[in-house]
Amino acid sequence: MKITFLPHKFKRIALALFLLVFITDFFWNYDENIAAFRKGYEDGRANRPFGGELEKVEFSLPYVDILLFASMFLYAFSKEKIEDEFLYLKRYEAFMLSFNICVCLTVFLFFCGFHTLKTVLILPVQLAIYLIVFYFKKREI
């Protein structure tokens, strides 16, 4: 079965989108990150014990997660400059290995007590693992 991939130029578009969203998100939340770091540093210097509830701070907006996932998806399903059957085999091996790693990681985290693991995080993690594994499998050629 032959899968149709996006043209190779989508790799550059995906990288540009990923960097743009990542850098924008970092600078958008820069003040909150620095304030949280200073508060923790000052509490540690004053030997104040932690007391009370943790504040839940959202550091990223949902659109950031969606755009980061979309850029990884575009990059993963874009053609290489030279696409042949051997590269299809490497893609398949990378997908199977990333799927197995993700399943083992999910089971491990479940048995370690992370019962509230969000299932929406599994697909982006698997896609990130796939990109890393495929990069190294491609270098074996």
pLDDT tens digits for range 23-80: 887 777 666 667 776 776 676 666 665 554 545 555 556 777 888 889 999 999 898 8
Q: How far apart are CA 56 and CA 59, in angstroms?
A: 9
CA distance 129 to 123: 10
Contact 71, 14 (CB under 8 A): yes
The separation between CA 69 and the C-alpha centre of its own chain, rounded to angstroms, equals: 7
Model pTM score = 0.68
User: Which pair of structure tokens corresponds to residue 119?
Assistant: 């299932």
What is the residue extent of each domain of the chain?
9-139
